[in-house]
Amino acid sequence: MVVEAANWSGAVRPRHEILSAPEHLRYVSGWMRPGDAGYVALDGNDTPVGAAWYRMFPRTDPGFAYVGTAVPELIIGVRPIWRAHGVGRALLQRLAGSARSAGFARMSLSVERGNFAVSLYRSEGFAVVRADYGRDIMVKLLR
Ligand SMILES: CC(C)(COP(=O)(O)OP(=O)(O)OC[C@H]1O[C@@H](n2cnc3c(N)ncnc32)[C@H](O)[C@@H]1OP(=O)(O)O)[C@@H](O)C(=O)NCCC(=O)NCCS
């Protein structure tokens, strides 16, 4: 799902290239460390079709969506054949509920400009807080 998220624009960067790039690998390496949480969506055969998860990064090694310590960064990807079927929205809602229950006040994400997912995020309560080199950082208040 990291690969799906990184290839959002239809570019087909090879899986091994994405999974060996530190800026992508850091979102999954060493899973599941304290503070990590996520959901995997399964089809009727228990095959994963999408996932959304969050983790936190220190100020000294921030992720794309870093807005402060103790603000988890969200990543989401759905397999192409399953997109536009409500999987992404369901995952976002589950994950926000989970973050709220865990006591987080905010969660953040980074989205490249031009990705339709911005409208999905807005409709789920995320707002742009910072623009950054072709990307927007969005934050959702959880309380
Ligand atoms: C972004 C993504 C996670 C959304 O998941 P999804 O399962 O496709 O989303 P949903 O089916 O829940 O759709 C959510 C809304 O977006 C709309 N939508 C879905 N695909 C769309 C598309 N290609 N263009 C425009 N709108 C679209 C849906 O109509 C829906 O709106 P509605 O509820 O008002 O009808 C998924 O499309 C994906 O993995 N994309 C590639 C990776 C990516 O961009 N990741 C995020 C990086 S920040």
Q: Which pLDDT does position 110 carry in this prediction?
A: 95
- Give the closest residue to 37 by CA, choosing from 16, 23, 53: 53
Nearest-CA residue for ligand 1 atom 2 is 88
CA pair distance 134, 1, nearest whole angstrom: 22
| Strand (E) or helix (H) holding 31 | none
Residues 85 and 94: beta-carbon distance below 8 Å? no
Judge if the beta carbon of residue 135 lies within 6 A of ligand 1: no
Please state the atom number of ligand 1 nearest to the C-alpha of residue 1. 39
- Residues 12-59: tens digit of each pLDDT: 899 999 999 999 999 999 999 999 999 999 999 999 999 999 999 999
CATH class of domain segment(s) 2-141: alpha beta
- Phi/psi region, residue 21 (left: phi>0; alpha: psi -120 to 50; beta: rest), is beta
Q: Which pLDDT does position 79 carry in this prediction?
A: 95
Percentage of the chain beyond pLDDT 90 is 90
Please state the atom number of ligand 1 nearest to the C-alpha of residue 50. 39
